[in-house]
Copies of this chain bind each other. A is one copy, B any other.
Amino acid sequence: MRAIVLDKPGSFRVAQVPDPVPGPGQIVVRVDACGICGTDLHIMDGEFPPTPYPITPGHEFAGTVAAVAGDVRMDLPVGARVAVDPSLYCGYCRRCRSGRDNLCENWAAIGDTVDGAFAEYVAVPAANAHRLPDGFDGQLAAMIEPLACAVHGLRRLGPIFGDSVVLTGAGTMGLLLLQLLVHAGAGPVTVVDRVDGRLAVARKLGAAQTASGLGDLDGERFEVAVDATGVPSVVDGVAALLDRGGRLLIFGVTPAEATMSLSPFRVYNDEITVTGSMAILRSFAPAVELIGSGVIDPRPLLSEPLPLEEFGEALHRVRTGQGIKWHIRP
């Protein structure tokens, strides 16, 4: 089959490699679409430490069951459509045993530590596959993975019914979080981004107000803040806008060495809460339903998928901020 192979950080090739066969408990999926996200760029650039090179990246994907190991008991016949949760965890470390699999001490993931879906076929544990109705659009299905991250983020935040919210970053994740916030009953949501086109999408998706910088919100206070930029100065800035009793969710991935400054007096006196959200935790199934039922509609975020051969061009478009979300259709 054809697959993207990264032999080492910095370069990739479209290679001819052996077709995968299903190991015990596995299925093989014919990839229909696989999204490109920030982590893929980091893997390309050698900035995602757990990566073992050579590797085929790609973790936001959906497709069709092509082969099934003999010991799989799930109802996953060849030809069934599936979205795949890329999370792999050990099940026996202290974090796994307390139900926080996403913080597993032996963390792994399809497309990050084992071969992923920028390829015609990928072998995955059957238990990671979520069956979709026949005819489910492949590119929509590939959006389930990022939505599952956003659903977990919302759970980490806790109830937001009626709360005023400021959300920074109207990229893929920001716009998914926005839809979830609106759908979960938030009060007015203010979205901040520096790209006008993205703010226009945000207004269409339910933002009560948009701004092109935190400075434009002078004087306003919010009960909830969510960062989806990953820019440290934005995290600092939005934390400052919290009202007494306010909560900040750090969803964006900032550089590891950056720091934010927090007033411990204010944390005490105003009972401010700062918390974070990392990847997926039992949030893949709800994401399947939210996209399946049309409650969350990722279509305003999508561009026409590109073939495997244009992987380089797709990376370029992501890096230069063209469009919002790009997919490869191998």
Contacts and interface: CB of A to CB of B under 8 A. Distances in A.
Interface string A217-250: 0000000000100001001000000001100001
A285 interface: yes
Interface in A242-277: 244-245, 250-277
Interface residues of A, number: 74
Interface string A78-109: 00000000000011101101111011011000
Interface stretch (A33-41, A286-294, A309-317): A286-294
Contact of A293 (B91, B159, B188, B260): B188
A302 interface: no
Copies in the complex: 4
Nearest to A129: B92
A296 to B, nearest CB: 10
A282 B188 contact: no
A187 interface: yes
Contacts of A183: 183, 185
B100 A245 contact: yes
**Residue among A156, A185, A245, A263 with the most chain B CB within 10 A?**
A185
Contacts of A180: 185
B271 A263 contact: no
B282 A276 contact: no
Nearest to A75: B92
B278 A271 contact: yes
Given A185-B185, A187-B293, A286-B161, A103 B270 contact: yes
A159 to B, nearest CB: 7
Nearest to A131: B92
**Residue among A91, A187, A276 with the most chain B CB within 10 A?**
A276
A268 B290 contact: no
A97 B154 CA distance: 17
A263 B258 contact: yes
12 contacts: A74-B90, A94-B285, A95-B244, A95-B245, A102-B271, A162-B285, A251-B268, A255-B265, A258-B263, A260-B262, A261-B261, A261-B262
Given A92-B126, A102-B271, A271-B275, 13 more contacts: A95-B245, A100-B271, A105-B244, A156-B271, A180-B185, A183-B185, A187-B289, A227-B264, A254-B264, A256-B263, A261-B261, A272-B275, A273-B273
